[in-house]
Amino acid sequence: MKNLLRLFFVIFSIFFFVSCGGDESNSEDDGASFSFRMMRDAESECSEMQLECLTLDISAIAFKIIDGEGNTVLINGKPGFSVSRQQLKDFDFKVTGIENATHATLLVSVFTGTDSTGQPNVTYANYEGRAAGLNFTKGKTTKAAILLYPVAPKDKELEMPKKLEMPRFGHTSTVLLDKKRVLVAGGFVSCGDNGQCAATDSVEIIDIESGEIEPLKPMTTKRAMHTAIPLNDGSVLFIGGVQDFSAKEQDTAFDGYPLLPYVQKNAVTTIEKYMPSQPNYNFKINGLGSSVENKTETITVPEEIKFMTFQSIFVKQTVANDTGYNTAPIEVFLVGGVDAEGKPSNKTYKFTITDSTIGEGTVSVSTVTEFAETSSPMILPALAYSNGSIFAVGGRPAPSAASTRDTTDEDTTEETTEEPTAESGSTGVVASIISENESRDIEADLSSNIFFANSAASDNALYTLGGMPNKSGELTDSDQNGVIRKWDLSNGSFETPANSNGLSSNGKNVAFAKTILDERNNRLIVIGGTSAENMYQVINTASLEKLKDPTSHYMTDKRIMPDASIIPAGTIGSRPILIITGGTSALNNNGSAANTIKINVL
């Protein structure tokens, strides 16, 4: 069966004029106008919006309206209506008699192909979409733009009909409070002949219901590789980041470190509160909701906060499931980094953010405290949080530059054990459990010390995927095709898959991928990255093994430094939706940044 989504550029726009209020009115201005878009299949054979492409596999399209109290809204006395394939060919039909309803949700289901008997399938929907918060009132026209999503996961990503206006990589994509939009901000646009990539201040927003893309006001500061935190009023905090990045190897190594193939420059030392314009697209075209202007402002930050290049940031944010609001001060940890003098840091700093945007309309940042020191400095370590402690893996200097000790502020006798050199031994400090005023080192085989690792954290584990091993004081390609490790946050022990051969990367390491935890299926999704630019890899969190095709597969775009967000189940259909944005095909002047937006359902 051919794919329903074989549409060029896949905008599929059908307009249905639906009269409200029975037979009392039949004016074209009295009803509802629905515009539908469908995902693009990259293998589309259609060169334009041809009717035969549009209706190729459609059996029927069904519509249902539910009001704000969960009741089905009758349409001409019935709990819904449907359009058959034959009716679709004419694009000329009317449905009368939609009951008045407020805060209603329009549900759309698309049925394709045939059932087991060869008859048109009208039982199991293959694609679905929705528009929420609509009002249906006699005498007024209600408009809804709806993007249709697949019901079941695919063995490849599907493409949204519209693209980002600014191709980018190293950006953030943040699901906003309404769960219907994704804010895409900053990142790099391209790299020059010298290999240096400069950050942008560009911001745009993806509307999940309609598929609309809207450019917004720029940030006050250009930044990339930064951190984004959603706030209670629908705004987003942008923290730190850098303004320049280079994929050329350092001329001179940091003290005790191997030469690094990737270099950050010009740390951004500000925090910015960014408010996207509201409400969402379908509310706007119907004049619903409160209009909020797009604006941004710099938040006052204590001078003591030490933002650096090569620094990892971890945010501990408690969100109530019933309200979706932050329920406690947001804790921010700044771990490692390289200071303005080019000296790697062994310090971890902590500050809190108080989100009072709902009540007082403010957000405030506390003074920073030095949380703890580690025995050796860290460069871009992978981070997780457990029971008041930060767990940091990787980015350590050569073993001879580290010592095995606990660091505390108490008057205790400190034990120091001389580390074996890279030539004489196989162990070294590769991780630390960092608690307030103390830290505990974790030792392992030297090759376990990884740089530029991809990672994801759950409640009890930190997963590190790929990265560059530090062997004998040099960063080398791994013959293990990207090692996967699961770290126990309570004691720092780790395990690897049985075959030690997790990620597909043509015999090389995977760095600067996007790793995201699919909690619904207990899986890790690893998108792109160096040496695996066009790979979409799914890892079982229990076995640490890659799930075979069609779950793991090749992508149509190469993506290094992409970002991805998960839209919760129930926003569109019964499954979460993965939204993939940005990425570049290469970290040099030959690379091309992506502006296509891909989706998959989880």
Q: Which of residues 598 and 445 earns the better pLDDT score?
A: 598
d(C-alpha 349, C-alpha 328), whole Å: 19
Residues with Cβ within 8 Å of 491's Cβ and at least 6 positions away in sequence, in order, are none
- Using DSSP's 3-state secondary structure scheme, residue 8 falls into helix
- Whether residue 227 contacts residue 170, with contact meaning beta carbons closer than 8 Å, is answered with no
- Whether residue 145 contacts residue 130, with contact meaning beta carbons closer than 8 Å, is answered with no
Q: Which of residues 114 and 433 earns the better pLDDT score?
A: 433
Tokens describing residue 25: 């009115």
pLDDT tens digits along 17-32: 343 333 333 344 445 6
Chain-wide mean pLDDT for the chain? 84
Residues of the chain with pLDDT > 70, as a percent, come to 83
pLDDT tens digits along 338-352: 999 999 999 999 999
Mean pLDDT in residue range 301-312: 93
- Using DSSP's 3-state secondary structure scheme, residue 315 falls into strand
Position 465 scores a pLDDT of 92
pLDDT bucket at 140, cuts 50 / 70 / 90: confident
CA distance readout (Å), 34 to 11, 143, 210: 14, 6, 11
Is the pLDDT at 424 greater than 60? The verdict is no
- Using DSSP's 3-state secondary structure scheme, residue 79 falls into coil
Q: Which of residues 25 and 98 earns the better pLDDT score?
A: 98
- Whether residue 310 contacts residue 336, with contact meaning beta carbons closer than 8 Å, is answered with yes
pLDDT bucket at 410, cuts 50 / 70 / 90: very low
Position 34 scores a pLDDT of 66
Count Cβ neighbours within 10 Å for each residue of 532-568 and write b for 16 or more, e otherwise: bbebbbbbebeebebeeeebbbebebbbbbbbbbbbe
pLDDT bucket at 95, cuts 50 / 70 / 90: low
d(C-alpha 594, C-alpha 438), whole Å: 43
Task: Give the best-scoring range by mean pLDDT among 59-63, 356-360, 391-395.
Answer: 391-395
Position 264 scores a pLDDT of 96
Task: Give the best-scoring range by mean pLDDT among 37-41, 55-59, 88-92, 240-244.
Answer: 240-244
pLDDT bucket at 411, cuts 50 / 70 / 90: very low
Is beta strand 523-527 parallel, antiparallel or unpaired with respect to 514-518? antiparallel
Mean pLDDT in residue range 231-260: 93
d(C-alpha 541, C-alpha 455), whole Å: 12
Is beta strand 406-408 parallel, antiparallel or unpaired with respect to 438-445? antiparallel
Tokens describing residue 218: 């720029």
Q: 50-54, 356-360, 426-430: which range is least confident on average?
A: 50-54
Is the pLDDT at 91 greater than 50? The verdict is no
pLDDT bucket at 96, cuts 50 / 70 / 90: low
Amino acid in position 345: S
- Whether residue 147 contacts residue 555, with contact meaning beta carbons closer than 8 Å, is answered with no
Task: Give the best-scoring range by mean pLDDT among 41-50, 326-335, 487-496.
Answer: 326-335
Q: Which of residues 108 and 500 earns the better pLDDT score?
A: 108
pLDDT tens digits along 497-538: 876 657 887 677 899 999 999 999 999 999 999 999 999 999
CA distance readout (Å), 419 to 110, 405, 414, 455, 470: 64, 11, 15, 27, 15
Is the pLDDT at 402 greater than 60? The verdict is no
pTM of the model: 0.90
Nearest to 314 by CA among 251, 395, 386, 255: 386
Sheet holding 563-567, edge to edge: 158-159, 598-601, 577-581, 563-567
Is the pLDDT at 330 greater than 80? The verdict is yes
Domain locations along the chain: 8-150, 305-451
Q: Which residues pair with 191 in a beta bridge?
A: 197
- Whether residue 174 contacts residue 243, with contact meaning beta carbons closer than 8 Å, is answered with no
Residues with Cβ within 8 Å of 322's Cβ and at least 6 positions away in sequence, in order, are none
Is the pLDDT at 111 greater than 60? The verdict is yes
d(C-alpha 35, C-alpha 577), whole Å: 21
pLDDT tens digits along 151-186: 988 888 888 989 999 999 999 999 999 999 999 999
Is the pLDDT at 51 greater than 50? The verdict is no
To the nearest 5 percent, what fractions of the chain are helix, strand and coil?
Answer: 5, 40, 55
Count Cβ neighbours within 10 Å for each residue of 372-407 and write b for 16 or more, e otherwise: bbbbbbbbbbbbbbbeebbbbbbbbbbbbbbbbbeb
Position 2 scores a pLDDT of 44
Position 207 scores a pLDDT of 96
Amino acid in position 99: E
**DSSP structural state of residue 54:** H
d(C-alpha 272, C-alpha 263), whole Å: 24
**Residues in the chain, overall count:** 602
pLDDT bucket at 7, cuts 50 / 70 / 90: very low
- Whether residue 583 contacts residue 557, with contact meaning beta carbons closer than 8 Å, is answered with yes
d(C-alpha 165, C-alpha 185), whole Å: 12
Mean pLDDT in residue range 375-390: 95
pLDDT tens digits along 278-290: 999 999 988 888 8
